[in-house]
A and B are shown apart, each in its own frame.
Chain A
């Protein structure tokens, strides 16, 4: 299997098949980041499409100083912020697909030392509560929790993607998780 850099080089040389392979490799990751940030399928689809169109348009400006994924995720983060800015400027509020669901406490589940969430399937209700709580976080905290806890991206890569220091990654993560706990009321 070709590496990211090999595919990028081929795509730069005009091989559209190579670019299609890049899309196949990363489309779900990009879409999932966007969905964690927007909780909207249609907006996530817009974000993902814009990301890959921008990647294609700017492929020649990618100088391979960082990993391709880091560059791709940075574009994704910026597109997510753009979508939210558009949403804010829209006079008619766009309701997310989670709006209207009951706000339930997860305290019993999460505070249980015997509870091993990793082994358990999250109920639709629990998923809804968590996603709704994510939406209440400030944008930068929502993004950092998405990248770290949902996408399992390293501190170092997050620092590059969000263009912040390593120290700030630690502080923002602590604050984001603390806020998330208080939103879920645990």
Chain B
């Protein structure tokens, strides 16, 4: 009986732990979306973006070899080719961590989406914001080039 109880709790604990490591990446290109070669990006800051995620994304784009800037919409240079919008979600498990990052490449004038991407990582699979940003961007560029 004791063995059965121990086994039961081991299985239960395993169930909880496996639930802590959900990983999902998604990216899609909207039909007819066109982005010029070597585009100039502008990452739109969110109001109250205390963690400066816009800058993190912009830095990752630069590290990938693109010209990029970030800030409020009024700061967007007129020669911007792609506007980048995002939403970051955070969760607490021993410490705050980014659980989800959504990103969109948009037409800078109409703000119509061109490519969308998402990365979701729960506690045991957590990554730093720059790694999450790189993961989403890589998926979005791959999806754009594939189609």
Q: Do A and B come from one complex?
A: no
Chain B positions within 8 Å of A, measured between CB atoms, are none
